[in-house]
Amino acid sequence: MKIVVIQGPNLNMLGHREQNVYGAMKLEEIHSQMEAVAKQNNFEIEFFQSNLEGEIVDKIQECLGDADGIIINPAAYTHSSIAIRDAISAVSLPAIEVHISNIYRREEFRQKSMTAPVCTGQISGFGPFGYHLAMISMMQMLGELDA
Ligand code: DQA
C-alpha cells in the first residue's frame, strides 16, 4: 500500500516562515516522522512539494494507479484552486487535507477551502502533529493500521 504526501506552496519554508503560526519544525523533519510511521506499518510513502499549481495537478493525476491514498496540504491553493479540487475529484482516491494552522480562526479569505469538499476529511489546527493524525487516519482507512 502506498501513500503520497503532497505539499503546496511555501511549505518548503517551514521552520523559517511565520513561526508563530506554523511552528519551528522543518518540512524534512515532518516527513521523516511520517516516514517512520509508514515503515513501522509496512506502507510505502512518497513526498512531493511544489510551489506551482500545475505541478500539483500533475502529481495528483500520477497518483492514479500508483497510490492508494493522498495526504495533501494545498497551502494557499486551498482557497483558490478549482484545478486542484478537480484533480482530487478525478482520481477518486481517499484523500486527507491537512492544515498546520486552524484556517477557521484566521483571516476570512482562509476560512473557505475549495478542496476539502472533495477530500475524505480535513485536519486543521493541530500544528505539524496534524500530519501524524492524517497518517493514522489514512492507514486505518486503508485497513492496514498496526497500532
Ligand atoms: C496552510 C494554511 C494556508 O492558508 C496557508 O496559505 C498556508 C499553510 C496551513 O497549513 O495552515 O500556506 O495550508
Q: What is the pLDDT of residues 66-119, one digit of tens each?
A: 999 999 999 999 999 999 999 999 999 999 999 999 999 999 999 999 999 999
- 18 found inside a domain: yes
- 116 found inside a domain: yes
Task: Identify the CATH number of the domain in which residue 54 sits.
Answer: 3.40.50.9100
Q: Where would I find the beta strands (DSSP E) of 11-141?
A: 44-49, 69-73, 95-99, 121-124
Closest CA to 116 of 141, 69, 68, 84: 84
pTM of the entire predicted model: 0.96
Judge if the beta carbon of residue 81 lies within 6 A of ligand 1. Answer: no
- CA dist 115 and 37 (Å) reads 26
Is 22 assigned a catalytic role? yes
- 65 found inside a domain: yes
- 147 found inside a domain: no
Instruction: State the closest ligand 1 atom to the C-alpha of 10, by its place in the atom list counted from 1.
Output: 12
Looking at ligand 1, which residue's alpha carbon is closest to its atom 7?
A: 75
What pLDDT is attached to residue 64? 97
Q: Is the pLDDT of residue 145 over 90?
A: no
Q: How far is residue 34 from each of residues 9, 110, 116, 133, measured CA to CA in Å?
A: 20, 26, 21, 10
How many structural domains is the chain composed of? 1
Is 132 assigned a catalytic role? no
Q: How many CA atoms lie within 13 Å of 41's alpha carbon, on the beta-carbon side?
A: 23
- 37 found inside a domain: yes
- 54 found inside a domain: yes
Beta-carbon contacts of 83 under 8 Å, excluding residues fewer than 6 positions away, are 53, 54, 57
Q: Is the pLDDT of residue 1 over 60?
A: yes
What pLDDT is attached to residue 146? 60
- CA dist 129 and 115 (Å) reads 21
ipTM of the prediction greater than 0.95, yes or no:
yes
- 146 found inside a domain: no
The domain of 45 spans: 2-141
Share of the chain above pLDDT 90, in %: 93
Q: Is the pLDDT of residue 147 over 60?
A: no
Q: Is the pLDDT of residue 29 over 90?
A: yes
The dihedral through the CA atoms of 35, 11, 118, 136 has a sign that is: positive
